[in-house]
Structures are given as C-alpha cells and as structure tokens.
Chain A
Amino acid sequence: MMVRVSGALLRFTDYRRIINVPAATVEAGLTELAEQYQPLRAVLFDRAGRVRATHKIFLNGEQLQRDELTRAADDTDSLDLLLAISGG
C-alpha cells in the first residue's frame, strides 16, 4: 500500500511524502507505518491504540470512517493521510 503523507505530519516521517508499506488492511498499513517511523506513533494513535479522530484517511480517494479501517488493501492501493486542523 502506498501512503501519502503531507503537511503537519511530514516532520514525523523524516519529510518522506510517499511511503510504501506491506499490509493486508488499512489498519495494518498504518501500524506498519508507525513501526517504520516511531515519532508518528503518538501522532497517529491514541493511548488505547486507536487512530485519532483528528486524522482524515482516504483510501483511493474515498474517505474512511473509523470503523472502516479494517478494509482490505494491497500494493495497488493508495492511502492519503491528512491532519484536519492543529491548535498551535
């Protein structure tokens, strides 16, 4: 799965914008991404291990809800990860 990272999240992926992760589901892809880029873990997941509600996640352009992250994915899929708003 190809993950596109942008904006305020870039500093947590060492400014890499496109990252390929092997995963069978969207959720597994995000977990693998956080495994590769440890600083991203606390940004992406809350203490209970759930993806934070402050992120918008699009699979092939379709926005996913929190209960749709188990959606199957493979190498041909692309995932866009967006932070909706920051309070700095």
Chain B
Amino acid sequence: MPRWSTYQVPIDTGLFTPLGLQPTAIFRLAFNAAGGWLGRYAISHRRLVSEHRTGFVVWSAQFIAGKPPSFLEGDCLEVRVVGRVRGDGTQFECEGEVSGASGGTTRMQACCVPLRLDGDPALSGVPARLSAEVMAAFLPDEIEARPYRSPVPGMQAAVAIEGTLLASGQMPFTIHRHQCEIADQWFWPEAASLASGAREELVRSESDGDPRLRLGLATPVHRLDLVFNRPFFLFDEGAVRSSAYDWQGRVVFIHELIGTTDDEARAIAIEQFTPGDPLPGPLYKGERGRRSWH
C-alpha cells in the first residue's frame, strides 16, 4: 500500500482570495507536502541534496478545485499527500488533496525530474535517474514503470483548434529574488502567480468588449495545469503571452511564459473557469454568497 501523509495546516488570510484558496498557495502547499512526505517516508529533500547529490526540478503540476474553502469555515486545512517514483526513476510524482472544514477538496499533483547535482555552490545539475540507493527508500507499490505525461501540449492544441479566441495580450515581468528559491532560480509556483496577474490584466483591459472574460475574475480557477521547459533565474526578463478562449462551455486562458532573450515558452499555464462553479461560503453568518460575473 502506498503510504499517505495527512496533516493539518493552520490557515491565515494570505492563503486566500475572496474566491477561495490562492492558486499559488495551493502549489506551495503541494511542494511543501511533497517535501514532508519525502522526509517522513523516504529521504528528506535536504539529505537528498547534501548526501545524495540529488535535486528535484518540477516539470509538471496541476490542481482541480472542488468547492473552495473560505477563511472563516475552520482554523485549519487538511492536507493529504502520497509520493511515488515513475518512469524507472526518472520522475518523482506526488498527488494530494487540500480540504477545508466544510469538505470542499482541491486535488493537486506535481511531477518532478531528478537532477544529479554537480557539487558546486550554485547547485547546478543535469537530469538523471534516481540512484538505486534512493530508489530503495520507496515501497514496491510506490514505484511505477510508466512515466507521467503532461496533458498540457494536447490541451493547448485542442483549445487553440476547437475554441473561440476571445482576447490576447502580453505582460512583461522581471524575476526578483522574492520569487526565487535557494539557488536564485524562480520558485516554480511563481508561474501560477505570473499567469494569474496576466489573466487579470487581460480581463481588465478586454472585458468591456467581451463580458465572458469576467468569469476569469469573478469565479475561482477550476483547473490549472502547468508545464515547465526551462527555468527563469534571478533578474531574467520575460513576458506572459496570454490568450483567452471559449472552449467547451468554459473560459480558458493559455499563458506562455517566454524569455525576452529567446522568445521561447519556458513554461505554459492553462487556467480553466467554469460558469456556475461554486463560490466560497458567506464571510459572515446571514450573508448570502453572491455571483456577479454577468
């Protein structure tokens, strides 16, 4: 049986928007949960880096939200997570859930690629299979031969072909240190932050022309898929190139995070919004949840 880890996270207002959990917070919780699972059941991330010269870089991540929890419904969120190795040791995947007191659950998943670190202070590395020593820390049920495949390329193509383009735009950015992790490389959940910002700017500037875009401000993200091609580093300049589509009754935003110097998509984020998705419960007793996206 794969080993699950379940624990409570005290909530604070910074985890939330008025619409539910912050997308970036969900991914931060997921990364933290994966690190906690590794430390509890296999080898801690710190020991992987310092003793096994093994690092991880997140290659793919997603969440699918149920009824979003609100800040006032409980003092804690419950996080459940399980880890596994996939693709003959070329991937580490974690799956989990974040639940509020009222039972609304967001399912999250992230897939990392192991790196063999070169041993230098910059923590540079190259993709490599996990060593036999590290693999031995996983139970047989936690090792799957089949590699994980990101749904992003297929989804991006389907939306672009089948969907109706509503609007597009571009938002520049520079990566600063508060957006980075220990190696001055961007902390991957920042992709969700940058995508969110670009979406909000697109809605602000274009929704007078197409009110359907307001779904991207008035409802929580129902589903967010990320895939990473290569990282941004400290002071790297880039832009989020965003396109909004009407696709299968949803409003879908496709964001390509491109480097200014190479114009290549270093990451792709696909956000989906569904009309009628539930909003969080009322903030105060007696207040009714309101919908106002039309």
Q: Which residues of A contact B (CB under 8 A)?
A: 6-12, 39, 42-43, 46, 52-55, 83-88
Contact = CB atoms under 8 A, between A and B. Distances in A.
Interface in B176-203: 181-185
A54 to B, nearest CB: 4
Most central of A6, A7, A52, A54 by chain B CB within 10 Å: A7
Given A9-B122, A10-B184, A52-B120, A85 B235 contact: no
Given A53-B118, A54-B118, A86-B185, A7 B125 contact: no
Interface string B110-129: 00000101111111111100
B231 interface: yes
A7 B237 CA distance: 10
B118 A46 contact: yes
Interface of B: 49, 54-57, 115, 117-127, 181-185, 230-236
Contacts, number: 90
The 7 residue pairs across chains A and B that have the minimum distance between CB atoms: A87-B55, A7-B233, A88-B183, A54-B124, A86-B183, A87-B115, A88-B182
**Which of B117, B124, B235 has the largest count of A CB atoms less than 10 A from its CB?**
B124
A12 B115 CA distance: 22
A54 B56 CA distance: 15
A85 B115 contact: yes
Contacts of A88: 49, 55, 123, 181-183, 185
A37 to B, nearest CB: 12
Contacts of A83: 122, 124, 233
Contacts of B54: 87
Contacts of A84: 124, 126, 230
B41 to A, nearest CB: 21
Nearest to B122: A43
B126 A53 contact: yes
B124 A43 contact: yes
A72 to B, nearest CB: 25
B216 to A, nearest CB: 31
Contacts of B119: 46
A62 to B, nearest CB: 14
18 contacts: A7-B232, A7-B234, A8-B185, A9-B122, A11-B184, A43-B120, A85-B57, A85-B127, A86-B57, A86-B124, A86-B184, A87-B55, A87-B124, A87-B125, A87-B183, A88-B49, A88-B55, A88-B183
Given A7-B234, A54-B118, 13 more contacts: A8-B183, A8-B234, A10-B184, A10-B234, A11-B184, A46-B120, A52-B120, A53-B126, A83-B233, A86-B125, A86-B231, A87-B123, A88-B55
A7 B234 CA distance: 4
A12 B230 CA distance: 22
A10 B49 CA distance: 22
Contacts of B182: 88
B20 to A, nearest CB: 30
Contact of A52 (B118, B184, B185): B118
